[in-house]
Structure formats: C-alpha cells, structure tokens
Structure 1
Amino acid sequence: MTGFDGALLILVESNGTYGRMLAQRALRGGAQVRLLTRDPRWYGYLAEDGYPALPVNTLDPAAVLDVVAGLRAAHPGPVAVTAGYEPSLATAATVARRLGLPGPDPDAVARAAGKDRMRVALAAAGVRTPRFRIATDAAQVRAAVADLGAPVVVKPVSSGGSVGVRWCPDAATAAAHAGTLLGALDERGAVMPHRVLVEEYLTGREYSVELFDGVAYGVTGKHVTAPPVFIETGHDFPVRQPAAAALAERAARALGVTWGPAHLEVKVDDTGPAIIETNPRLAGGGLTELVEWCTDHDLYGATLARLLGRDGPGAPPARRAGAIRSAVAPHPQRVTRIDAATARHLPRVRQVTVHARPGDRCGGFGDARDRLVTVAAVAPGAAAAAVAAQRGLVAVRVTTTSPEALLPT
C-alpha cells in the first residue's frame, strides 16, 4: 500500500508522534498535506517535513468546517480529514461527516476521547473499568474519595499523553490536584472542562491493545513510572494477553469505535482486566512504528487508505519482537546537550528519537513532556529486543543543568 498520488490530507492540529508520522507517510505516498492550527509555532518540524500550516481557530468546529470545505472545493483529487492531536479528534470526525468524507462516527469518537463519557458508556455496557466519580468542585472530589477509598487517580476528562493525571494518596491531595485542573488551561492554552474524573487506583500490570476496525491485532506490555505520575517509559510487543484483547474489543464495540485505528489501555489485576483509557487513533510514542516493524504491516498507510475511502488489509501476526525504552527527566532542569550518535549505530536499534533540544525545559511536567529520548529495537525474540533497546538508551549521552539553574524562570 504505497500510492496516494493526487490526494490531500488535512490535519486538524497534530503532534510530534503519530500525527507527524501520518503526514510523513502521506507525503511519501505522493499526497499533499495541510495542517490547520491555532499556532504554527507548536510545530517546529514543518519546514523540515515540507508542508504548510494554515492558521485557524481549531477550537471552533464551524471555522474548521469552513476552511476544510474551501480546501476540498479547490482540490481536484480525494481529500482526507483527521486529527493528530487528541482534543481535535472529534472536531475532525464531525467535519468529515458534514462534508460526506470517510471517517469514524463523530459521536463514537467523542465518547472514546472524553474520559468521563467513556466511563459512563462502558459502565452501562457492563465493561469493567475502575470505579469512578465525576466531580466539579473540591467537595465532590472529597466525597468521591470517601466513597471509592484512597488512594485514587484524579485526571482531566480530556487530555492525552498523561497530562494532568495524578495518583493521590488522600482526599486533601485529590482535592488540591483537582483544583489545578478545574477550568484551567491545558498545555496549549485551551480551557479544560470544569469537571474531573476521580477513579479507584488499580494495581497490576499495564498493557495497550491495538485495534483496527474494532479487531485487536496485538497487545503491548507497558512500563510506566511509579506514582504519583504515570509516564510511559517502555513498551514490549507483542505479548500474550488474550483477556485484555477480548475486553478491548468489547469496549470498542460498546463505544462504537469500530472504524479505523484505536489504541486502548488496559490494566490486569487479580480480578482480571479493566479498561483504563480509550483512544480512537493510532498509538503514539513510537509504538505504531514498532508494531509496523514487527508485523511488516503499514498501519499508517492502512489508516490513510480508510480515510480516503479505500479498504485496508488487516494486520498480520507479529514476525519478530520489538521493545521501546525511554529516558525521563526526574526533576525540572534544562537540556544542554543530547548525543545519540552511538546509539543509532548499535545492533538491532531501529530508531532513536530525541524529544528535547538544547535549551528546552524538561522534567516536572509529570507527563509525556518529561521524556528526553526514546530508543526502539527489533529482534527475533522479546528478551533480545529489550536488551538492545536498553543498551541503546544507555549509549545516549544527556547533559542537563541542575534544578537550581531553573529558579527563578
């Protein structure tokens, strides 16, 4: 699946992982790409990747619809509309539906991307999730903790990359953290909904399940930092976890997420699997590329094909194993130098992604923005892949300032 000559891919906001990779795949296939964004400065890679950004208020679906309709009218070939940024997924799906373009059900996307709506829908369908409450003020948060029992996890109802997600040992901590989220601005300056999700903290191993058209094609073992934050620091693909895969398929059907890619996160404890997050999109953090290397299946190409109204082949079984390992800044500091040249030439290392540039702040966010560098490796077996990824990570040289050098800023 290689040819997209004459097509136009319109991204309603993006990111440096799956959004950027989808655009690069479209360009390699001969398509044009346009990025609609509130601020082109968020995307320092556009000049390198070779496509323009068009300023538009992407928080306004009507404004996005007007711009996309104009681009479609002016383009002689097929047009695809999607988002490379979690909060814009529902807007992109709505615009595609209004214009009669292929895409997922907008209501299903909104249910899956909204953490509170997802919890309510899955509970109604009898799909296990952590017990939860939705709170709009500190008193409701304290009542939720009393009901659920401490510790709990408090999170915004709309975010990606673990932004704003925090483990809280008691009601006071939970209420204080909720106060930083209710009606606050997200990482891109948009006002977050004035409600939070308070849920029981489940112990156990974490997995993600990758689906296409509602069918699970692989399960990934996840490595995350210890509470109070949950930053993904590693992935192992594939792992055998049929119960997690089956529950993810049930959840996708209950939400209506049965069109194109989906990335569901599952925790398995002594009771069994429970759905933690549902994302109606490709996996980020290099995981989609890892799955492609292990299966020889073009997932980005399959997604583009579906967006253009074509059928895409299902993913074959994994032929080899892959591992990802990431280094995370443990506290606030500033990057002065990252040297990944040695790591890139090590055996079985397929990709080294440097997330921070000299001068960037890192650490202290408590989410994916704290990642410094990620190494992906592929090998015939899982153990060899994990060893290769860890060796690659150790070979990267990172130099940062001390925390004191950042104060004040």
Structure 2
Amino acid sequence: MSTKALILLEGSRMGTGTLYVQAAKRLGLHPIVLSADPARHNYLATDNIDAIRVDTDDLDALIRECSRLRATYDIAGITGFPYPGESVYATVAKLCQYFGLPGPNPASIERCCDKFNQRQMLAEAGVPVPAYRLAANATEVERAAAEIGLPVILKPAAGNGSCGVRLCRDAEELAEHTMYLFGGTYIWETSPRILVEEFAQGPYFVADILGNIIIEIGAGEFGPPPHFVYREYTYPAPLTDDQRARITDVSLSCLRALDLNWGPTNIEFRWTERGPVVIEVNPRLAGSPDPQLIQLACGIDLVTEHIKLVIGEKCDLRKRHSQTASARFLVPDRDGTLDWIDGAAGVPGVAEVTWYVKSKAPLIRKGDARDCIGHVIAASPTPTQTAAILQRAFDSITWSITPFPTIDE
C-alpha cells in the first residue's frame, strides 16, 4: 500500500510550517514540502522533512511535480502557506481542483487576494469597510487622499504581513510613502497598484473561521505608527456579548459576499464609532502564533482540523476548555547584528518561546511583520494572570544587537 502524503507549498518564517508538518505526522501522513527555496525554511532541516525545489509560481511545474510524486505516494491532500505571497494559496486551490482533491474555490481565493476587488465586493454586499480608492500613480494617490481626507492608509493592492502598508498623517508622509512604493524600492507581487484607504480608528480584532464556523475572536495591538508591526495578540478578545454577535454577523456576511465557503478564513476588524469595520479578509489560516493561542484558549487545534478537511476527514471543532492566551512579539529597536538572545522559557505559565532568527543574523527593520524576531506565549485561567506572566517573561529576556558599522564620508 502506498504511503499517504500531504503536499505543502512553501512555508512560514513565523512557525506555521512546523505546525503543519507535526500535525501531518500525528495524522499518519508523510509531509512533503514544495518550495522555490527550501533553504530559507529552517524547520525543514531541523525536522528532516522531505523538501523539493520547484518554482511555486509555475502552476504547470507544480502539476508535473505532484504527478511525479503520485507514482510513489498516495497524495491525500494539498495545502500551503501565505509565504512569500497570498498567490501561493490561490495556487493551492488550483492544484486541488486539478487533482480532484478537497480544497477552496480557486476563483474565490483569487478574487479575495486582490484587495481592491475584495473591497468592492464587500461594499456592494453592504459590509462595512473603510472609504477607499485605487491608484496607479502618484497623482491618483494624491487625489484619492484629498477625497478621503488625511490621515489615510497606503497599501499595495496585493500582499500580506503589512508589507508596504503605512499610515500617512500629512502630505509629506503621503508623498514619501508613495515614492517608496512607486520608486523602484518596493518589490511588487503584481503590477503596481496602491489602495488608498480611510484610517479606521479603534481597537483591532480578528475572527478565525473554519468553513462557516467562527472558532474564536482575538484582540491585537500594534507598535507605534506609522507602521503596523504586531505587538501582542490575545484570545479570546475581551468583548461584550453584543460586540461578539456583531463581529460574528459581519464575518458571515463577508463569507457570503466573497463566496468563501470552504476551509480557513481570518477576518481583521477595527471597532469604530459605527461598530465593526472590515480591514481585510484573508482566505487562509492565520499565521503563527494564532493557531497556538486558539488551542491554548479553547482546545481546538486549527492546524490539525484544517488538515483533516484537506484530506476529506470530518473535523472536530468542539471547545474543550476556556483560558486566556496571549502572545507578545519581540521587535528590535535598532538595525544591526543580533549577538545573542535568551530568556522567558523558564518563567512559570509560559507556554512557548520561539525565536525566528539565529545569533549573528542581520536585523534590518522594514516596518512590517518581518520586523518581529520572536514571540512568547502565556496562558492562564484569567486575563490578569496571563498579562502578568507575559510581563514577567519579557522582563527576563536579555539580548544584544551590535549596530552596523558606519561608513565615514
């Protein structure tokens, strides 16, 4: 009998790849990772995982590789991660469709990955979204910002991890970031198009969904503006019953509007004066550490349940307990070489300490999720206790960064 294999496209710097590999093994599957550059995923070498180099932007090449693997393995399912771009998950959907395996609708995923198209579809369905315009050059950006009114958010129409996203509070910041995006420095996944958005101000929440079931709603905080670098996540979010009900209703409206009726989705909100406003709908599972937080908070292993869905097995989404789980991200305060980092692991109540980089790694801040170099997770029965554990853990962390040498003129 052929070995049952799970094909995984790409991986994740922040740990989701490891979670999928471990979950696949627990389910009796042989994980095989297809990646354009396997060397950039440290977990592949650490966990001794089968990895095959293939251009993950080339659908025909992926089809050929999967067809070749079918001669040796029983391919039970195919899935992947949003790295280096959202297009990977759209490719996953096409592969599942080609091989007749369970998976999302490719057309729905592709429509959703275009942020402008997503905004249009949500607005047409009556879902609350920020005011927005699409711009293809600096003149259009300036006009859109004038129509919406400063401050505005500038973001690429495709991408993830807050790459290229910035709050522009005045005309100078608007011109500066427009130049950055259009001036040849920013690397575009698609043709250069900027989404100019109203800055929806208020607390940030995220709904994690599988199929049409709201698994949990979390709360998040970011570092100082103008960038949106993660600082902390907490599950479950401290919501009133009314707030939870309204976020749930809007989430389900998003799924209907975008025809997302299979697999994982995570939806980001800001709670504004008019209630929950949708910032973004991501047609995929949220990256680490969200799955770990959800498992600690309510006992549902979203990665395992997603894989079950991928291989055609029945999911078990029953909540088994109720805790407060929080993650805080470590973000460097300067560029330079990381000499060493240590701490947090021995603090009682800490559930996980993960560093994304190794000693002697160069640290160059970009103002997005890539600035995070690690996270600490704590869990306990109460929000107050969890916050105290997390603070003690962070107070115990010691590290050293040597600034890059300067070149004298």
> Does TM, normalized by the shorter one, top 0.5?
yes
Measured at CA, do residues 83 and 284 of structure 1 come closer, stay the same or move farther in structure 2, by a change above 3 Å?
closer
Determine if the alignment matches structure 1 residue 258 to structure 2 residue 261. Answer: yes
Measured at CA, do residues 283 and 178 of structure 1 come closer, stay the same or move farther in structure 2, by a change above 3 Å?
same
The 2-side partners of 1:203 and 1:157 are apart by 21
Q: Out of 56, 62, 77, which is 1:58 matched to?
A: 56
The 2-side partners of 1:113 and 1:125 are apart by 17
Determine if the alignment matches structure 1 residue 209 to structure 2 residue 210. Answer: no
Determine if the alignment matches structure 1 residue 378 to structure 2 residue 379. Answer: yes
The 2-side partners of 1:170 and 1:246 are apart by 35
Measured at CA, do residues 52 and 271 of structure 1 come closer, stay the same or move farther in structure 2, by a change above 3 Å?
same
The 2-side partners of 1:43 and 1:406 are apart by 31
In the alignment, what sits opposite 2:135? 135
SS of the equivalent of 2:103 reads coil
Measured at CA, do residues 182 and 106 of structure 1 come closer, stay the same or move farther in structure 2, by a change above 3 Å?
farther
Q: Give CA deviations for 1:62-115 in whole Å, capped at 9, x if unaligned.
A: 222222232234313523333352331101111111221100111121222221
Number of equivalent positions: 399
The 2-side partners of 1:19 and 1:115 are apart by 25
In the alignment, what sits opposite 1:338? 341
The 1-side partners of 2:285 and 2:110 are apart by 16
Quote the sequence identity (%): 30
- TM-superposed CA distance for 1:195, in Å, is 0.6
In the alignment, what sits opposite 1:278? 281
- Residues 249-398 of structure 1: matches in 2 within 5 Å? 249-316=252-319, 319-340=322-343, 343-398=344-399
The 2-side partners of 1:387 and 1:260 are apart by 35
Measured at CA, do residues 88 and 401 of structure 1 come closer, stay the same or move farther in structure 2, by a change above 3 Å?
same
Q: Give CA deviations for 1:35-56 in whole Å, capped at 9, x if unaligned.
A: 2121122112211112122121
The 2-side partners of 1:41 and 1:128 are apart by 42
- TM-superposed CA distance for 1:194, in Å, is 1.5
- Residues 101-116 of structure 1: matches in 2 within 5 Å? 101-116=101-116
SS of the equivalent of 2:208 reads strand
- TM-superposed CA distance for 1:271, in Å, is 1.3
Amino acid at match of 2:268: E
Amino acid at match of 1:87: S
Q: Which moved more, 1:377-386 or 1:21-30?
A: 21-30
Amino acid at match of 2:312: G
Q: Which moved more, 1:163-172 or 1:127-136?
A: 163-172
- Calculate the TM-score normalised by the size of structure 1: 0.92
- Calculate the TM-score normalised by the size of structure 2: 0.92
After superposition, the CA RMSD in angstroms is 2.1
Amino acid at match of 1:385: T
In the alignment, what sits opposite 1:162? 162
Q: Give CA deviations for 1:275-316 in whole Å, capped at 9, x if unaligned.
A: 111111222131111111121222111100100011212242
In the alignment, what sits opposite 1:173? 173
SS of the equivalent of 2:176 reads helix
Measured at CA, do residues 288 and 183 of structure 1 come closer, stay the same or move farther in structure 2, by a change above 3 Å?
farther
In structure 2, the gaps of 5 or more residues are none
In the alignment, what sits opposite 1:151? 151
Amino acid at match of 1:271: R
Amino acid at match of 1:377: A
The 1-side partners of 2:185 and 2:109 are apart by 22
The 1-side partners of 2:87 and 2:369 are apart by 16
- Residues 3-82 of structure 1: matches in 2 within 5 Å? 6-16=3-13, 17-76=15-74, 78-82=76-80
The 2-side partners of 1:185 and 1:21 are apart by 33
Measured at CA, do residues 104 and 184 of structure 1 come closer, stay the same or move farther in structure 2, by a change above 3 Å?
farther
Answer whether contact 2:350 2:393 (CA < 8 A) is retained: yes
Measured at CA, do residues 36 and 324 of structure 1 come closer, stay the same or move farther in structure 2, by a change above 3 Å?
same
Measured at CA, do residues 58 and 348 of structure 1 come closer, stay the same or move farther in structure 2, by a change above 3 Å?
same
The 1-side partners of 2:198 and 2:296 are apart by 36
Amino acid at match of 1:255: L
- TM-superposed CA distance for 1:375, in Å, is 0.7
Measured at CA, do residues 317 and 220 of structure 1 come closer, stay the same or move farther in structure 2, by a change above 3 Å?
farther
In the alignment, what sits opposite 1:97? 97
Q: Which moved more, 1:15-24 or 1:207-216?
A: 15-24
SS of the equivalent of 1:345 reads coil
Q: Give CA deviations for 1:208-231 in whole Å, capped at 9, x if unaligned.
A: 111111221211110111210001
Measured at CA, do residues 213 and 185 of structure 1 come closer, stay the same or move farther in structure 2, by a change above 3 Å?
farther
- TM-superposed CA distance for 1:407, in Å, is 6.0
Q: Which moved more, 1:168-177 or 1:147-156?
A: 168-177
Q: Give CA deviations for 1:247-276 in whole Å, capped at 9, x if unaligned.
A: 122112211122121111100011111111
Measured at CA, do residues 190 and 150 of structure 1 come closer, stay the same or move farther in structure 2, by a change above 3 Å?
closer
Q: Give CA deviations for 1:313-340 in whole Å, capped at 9, x if unaligned.
A: 2242751111111121123222110013
SS of the equivalent of 1:76 reads strand
Amino acid at match of 1:105: N
- TM-superposed CA distance for 1:61, in Å, is 1.8
Q: Which moved more, 1:365-374 or 1:82-91?
A: 82-91
In structure 1, the gaps of 5 or more residues are none
Determine if the alignment matches structure 1 residue 234 to structure 2 residue 218. Answer: no
The 1-side partners of 2:183 and 2:34 are apart by 25
